Structure 1
Amino acid sequence: MAQDSDIALSVNPVVARSGQTADEGGATRLRGHMGVFDIVFTVLAFNAPLSVFVGFITVIIGFGNGLGVPVTYLGAGLLMMLFAVGFTAMSRRLPNPGAFYAYITAGLGRPLGLGAAFVALVSYLFILVGGYAFGGLSWQALVRDVLGGPDLPWYLYTGLVMVIVGVLGYFRIQLSARILTVFMCFEIVAIVAYDLVVLGRGGVSGVNLESFAPSNIVSGSIGLAVLFGIVCFSGFEATAVFREEARDPERTIPRATYLAIALMAGLYALSSWAMVIGIGTDTIVADSAADPTGTALGTVAVYLGTISLDVITVLLCTSIFAANLATHNVTGRYIYSLSVDRIFPKALSVVHKTEVSPHRASIATSVISLVALAGCIVGKGEATTLYAVLVGIGGYSLILLLLLTSLSVVAYFRRTGDPEVTLWRSLVAPSLASAGLLVAFVLATQNVAAMIGGSQGMADFLIGLFLGLLVLGVVVALVLRSRRPDVYRRIGRQDI
């Protein structure tokens, strides 16, 4: 890696004072004015809080550690905060987008960095395609069951959503950020309204602290609880993906990262505690295991009324749409970054002259998603199965990337010896995060079949796929180092 650290700015010229950049052909690079809340709400949209509320909390209660779920979320949030200490320290030192891709390259070298980029890109594509399938199913149920409309195939709704997302992804990121902000505000208001009503009424038998009793915290399958709890925080790393489009990124990115994690930890811990109180400590575990989604929607109907349940159903659809849009934008920027580095065709790195968006990379994302989803439909894939498998394995691979990134923080600062970064930020916090994430990765590897709701054979195949992508990236990088050293030097845009 020593030879990798001498890349001059001439490889990737930067006009620092103007805040604009250009490649060899003079094409303008991405730039924008995203503030802290623009990025935070984009991250929350990727995470889809209402989907977590309806589909994940009761799963962890039923199959994880039961009543102790609020502490699981607080613990997972603490682990993500530890990760963020090193993550944000890197973001202040590396003026390049790419998040996992850029940071792993800087810390662990170009070959592993490129492998991580391949894993990240395919992970986001899996999550995007799975989200499209789930969205189509949700819109189908809304139109048919709530609005009394025709019973159309789910993939027709998916196709319409894909068109809308593709159009929005073509334009500048601020447009998407505004739309996502509106959707996220409605979601959070709905979730907090449930929490406040339950706590205000005292639930079934009064407000209690049984969720925080040590015996309940470690009850059931604590491993599965930790695993699913961490997956519920997926997406916060995307704060660094928007670095080029952020206002004052050295401040905006760290603030957005910490705020996003804190909001998710607080919201999920409070909501799971309210759900335990609202349904009752005697029955919630059994009810959640028998019907996770039905249990969540049922308690909403009890405390907010049937009309509010219909509103929640509508908001669930918009939540999934917002997640699709956020994931599309993140995926497109990964394709853009790899194209700027010439790993992918240079044509995909062109930025729109007026929208200042990676419009070609966005179009490529839409085309890849369409082809992948069409293949699944032709192969008779069911929407619910696609969602469980693709999003589940995507979450698994993101844990791997978090682990590699945390290790890269330690390696980077040990090598550079930056005196301005404290030992806590450069070594202690990222080492603690690495230890926690290693445990989570082992648990995830042991429970992939449970994550994807499929067979162990399918789980083994998907694990092999992502490990194969990691190896493929390493091999491609080594070939580039031998045959195309100019392209090899561009990997990760390491201006250090």
Structure 2
Amino acid sequence: MTEQSAPARGADRDHTLRGSIGVAGIVFLVVAAAAPLTAIGGALPVMLAISNGPGVPMAFLVVAVVLLVFSVGYAAMSHHVVDAGAFYAYVTRGLGARLGLGAAALALLTYTAIQAAIYGLAATTLQSIVTQYGGPELPWWLLAVVLIAVVGLLGYRSIDVGAKVLGVLLVLEIAIVAVLAATILVKGGPEGYALTSFAPSTFFQDGPGIAVMFAVASFVGFEATAIYGEEARDPRRTIPKATYIAVVLIGVFYAIASWAIVVAFGPSQVEAAAQADTAGLVFAAAAQYIGPSYADVMTIMLLTSLFAALLSFHNAISRYLYALGRKGVAPEALARTHPRHGSPHVGSLTQTAATVVLLGVFALAGADPVLNLFTWMSGVATVSVLVLMVLTGVAILVFFACNEVDARVWNTRIAPALGLVGLAFVTVLVLLNFATLISGSAVLAATLLAVVAAAFVGGLVVGAVKHPSRTGGVPGHELGAASQQALSEN
């Protein structure tokens, strides 16, 4: 049987995702995973403190440009492959089933790691809010369980429900950051409106690797535009539009918001200010330019930002498990969808249980939810997703080189090649600075990178077992329903 997307197998309602999500809904899911307030309130001060200081805003633009060029081939591929596995499905179609399963393992590692990291930060943030308002000092792991339960309940339901929740949270989240940035830029900073943040010389000073690493982490949910293709009203139009809009929105918004923080303290002083008060830098700017009450509201909104990211990644993992179950490389039960909600409810429940186990390991080990759980897992997710995107870039080039389904040279040859070069450059920068991110431990860095390698190799081994008759190279180029339609139209 040809390996094709679920819509072509629509006769089995128990194994078919259902939804009517549009461009705006998918963009919400992607940007929610990027967690704007978390990136600006949590990651940005670290970037300013230990990377290239005032050159940080440029890092967001550099990563956005690389992903935008990569998106051209990615969007073109979405016309021919519509599958909840997204990167996994693209690599399978371009490079074969074995490498596809290697990609699937990297995707599961990426989303599991980043979700675990965010649970650690979210639980700590909730713990701080509870005690701030006179509540008891509850252990972080107990608060994490509460968050897991709420996320699991929403993930069990239809994607339309999750998209609506994320939409509301995201609008509030973007608004609160936008108001702060606008206020700072209207009032001006102690050194005026210096544009040195966007100068190449400023970007490359003191090494931009850490800034680029955090910027990449801000785009980890980028793949979601294709993940939700089967639940979109018109995937061939929705996915490309949502991809471009999400990348541009995230990149530009982060660049402007981070520049506003640089302006607030001054390019020559912002690095020292971030080093002196990393956790409270952005909230101090809010208190200074708007008022203390606004800073308190931002603290609460930080929690909702983290929750939105948790829900988005939960949905992504559930759909990957669903795709693997449908392909027969994971238990078939994972491919079942809820008769009323049309959601991958078994995958959702499995993901919830796995999260409880993973966080339980860190809790039993007495690990710090931020210094250990958040930092280590964020690093793993960043490296893993970059390797996954490089692999996908190669698959896109191979697919279009071997299948004459699209005559657009820019979309299928030039842009994918340029995007691949850009991703390789970013990956090298991240690897060179990986040890710095995790407290400078070379041994720990090697261990965590080994986890990424082991996940990929594990996927290859499963592929060899499940597909023993395949050589693992380029498959027989069996085109799915969308590709056959494209051929007929041409």
TM-score (norm 2): 0.93
Q: Could you tell me how far 1:392 is from its partner in structure 2?
A: 1.9
1:93 aligns to what SS in structure 2? coil
Mapping of residues 202-213 of structure 1, within 5 Å: 202-213=188-199
Q: Could you tell me how far 1:484 is from its partner in structure 2?
A: 10
d(CA) in 2 for partners of 1:63, 1:491: 47
User: Is contact 2:192–2:263 with CA below 8 Å preserved after alignment?
Assistant: yes
d(CA) in 2 for partners of 1:156, 1:479: 40
Cα gap change, 1:15 to 1:481, in 2 (>3 Å): closer
Q: Does 1:133 align with 2:123?
A: no
2:38 corresponds, among 27, 33, 51, to: 51
The one-letter code of the counterpart of 2:304 is T
Aligned equivalent of 2:404: 417
Aligned equivalent of 1:342: 328
Cα gap change, 1:340 to 1:453, in 2 (>3 Å): farther
User: Is contact 2:108–2:320 with CA below 8 Å preserved after alignment?
Assistant: yes
Q: Could you tell me how far 1:30 is from its partner in structure 2?
A: 0.2
Cα gap change, 1:472 to 1:493, in 2 (>3 Å): farther
d(CA) in 1 for partners of 2:271, 2:100: 42
Cα gap change, 1:493 to 1:342, in 2 (>3 Å): farther
Q: How many aligned residue pairs are there? A: 478
Q: Does 1:34 align with 2:15?
A: no
Q: Could you tell me how far 1:28 is from its partner in structure 2?
A: 4.3
Aligned equivalent of 1:78: 65
Mapping of residues 60-459 of structure 1, within 5 Å: 60-145=47-132, 147-384=133-370, 385-418=372-405, 420-453=406-439, 455-459=441-445
d(CA) in 2 for partners of 1:28, 1:490: 25
d(CA) in 2 for partners of 1:249, 1:389: 35
The one-letter code of the counterpart of 2:209 is G
Cα gap change, 1:129 to 1:494, in 2 (>3 Å): farther
1:231-278 Cα deviation digits (max 9, x unpaired) = 222211111011111110111111111111111111111011111111
Cα gap change, 1:353 to 1:274, in 2 (>3 Å): same
1:177-235 Cα deviation digits (max 9, x unpaired) = 00000100011000110111011101223222222334323212123333332222221
The one-letter code of the counterpart of 1:72 is A
Cα gap change, 1:343 to 1:491, in 2 (>3 Å): farther
The one-letter code of the counterpart of 1:408 is A
Cα gap change, 1:491 to 1:137, in 2 (>3 Å): farther
2:357 aligns to what SS in structure 1? helix
User: Is contact 1:13–1:22 with CA below 8 Å preserved after alignment?
Assistant: no
d(CA) in 1 for partners of 2:203, 2:398: 34
User: Is contact 1:102–1:492 with CA below 8 Å preserved after alignment?
Assistant: no
Cα gap change, 1:427 to 1:470, in 2 (>3 Å): same
Point out where structure 2 has 5 or more consecutive residues left out of the alignment.
484-490
2:191 aligns to what SS in structure 1? coil
User: Is contact 2:51–2:206 with CA below 8 Å preserved after alignment?
Assistant: yes
User: Is contact 1:68–1:217 with CA below 8 Å preserved after alignment?
Assistant: yes
TM-score (norm 1): 0.92
User: Is contact 1:102–1:493 with CA below 8 Å preserved after alignment?
Assistant: no
Q: Does 1:476 align with 2:465?
A: no
User: Is contact 2:329–2:466 with CA below 8 Å preserved after alignment?
Assistant: no
The one-letter code of the counterpart of 1:52 is A
1:405 aligns to what SS in structure 2? helix
Cα gap change, 1:410 to 1:12, in 2 (>3 Å): closer
Q: Could you tell me how far 1:453 is from its partner in structure 2?
A: 3.7
d(CA) in 1 for partners of 2:270, 2:171: 28
d(CA) in 2 for partners of 1:15, 1:267: 35
Point out where structure 1 has 5 or more consecutive residues left out of the alignment.
1-6
Cα gap change, 1:342 to 1:318, in 2 (>3 Å): same
Cα gap change, 1:214 to 1:474, in 2 (>3 Å): closer
User: Is contact 1:76–1:226 with CA below 8 Å preserved after alignment?
Assistant: yes
Cα gap change, 1:12 to 1:408, in 2 (>3 Å): closer
CA RMSD of aligned residues (A): 2.2
Aligned equivalent of 1:3: none
d(CA) in 2 for partners of 1:137, 1:368: 20
The one-letter code of the counterpart of 1:387 is F
d(CA) in 2 for partners of 1:171, 1:14: 19
